[in-house]
Amino acid sequence: MTAPRTITVRTLDHGPLELRCPTWCTGEHEDDVHRADISHLGPDQPLTLPTRSGPVTNLVTALEVRPYAFDGFLRMPFVNVGIGADWYPTGLPGLEAMADTLAEQAEQLREQARRLAVLLQEARR
């Protein structure tokens, strides 16, 4: 975390706008955007899986807030979850549900590993 920075964004619909970035904002702020599209972004935090080809990202999370968004949900900090090519703005209950689902899926993966271990043991006989 760094000290908050103050920036000026030149908007297409509200002229120059002075903004204070949240301490976690590491995003670049471009000019000539609509005010509703202004977004403070934290760094991407990829979740990876180890594969035979090396680590592969299965999802990315990043803190975000869009202080002038039309959708009130986006005006409060949220976590944007990137899965494949799409992003899913997610609040606290949604993140908890994703974490619970990932934990359940980890158990499914362990069950698959146990089945594979049995098959490999049988194949060696």
Chain residues binding Zn ion by CB under 5 A are: 21, 25, 40
**Spatial separation of the C-alpha atoms in residues 28 and 118, rounded to whole Å:** 52
Q: Which residues contact 100 (CB under 8 A, 6 or more apart)?
A: none
Identify the three-state secondary structure at position 83.
strand
Between 66 and 81, CB nearer to Zn ion: 66
Shortest reach from residue 43's CB to Zn ion, in Å: 12
Nearer to Zn ion, 5 or 115 (CB): 5
Q: Which amino acid is at 86?
A: D
CA dihedral 106, 107, 109, 113 (to 10 degrees): 140
Smallest separation (angstroms) from Zn ion to the CB of 97? 28
CB of 62 to Zn ion, least distance (A): 12
Residue 27: closest CA among 79, 80, 64, 77: 64
Cβ-based nearer residue to Zn ion, 39 or 60: 39
Least distance from Zn ion to the Cβ atom of residue 20, Å: 8
CA atoms within a 13 Å half-sphere pointing along the CA-CB vector of 3: 2
If the CB atoms of residues 25 and 63 are measured against Zn ion, the closer one turns out to be 25
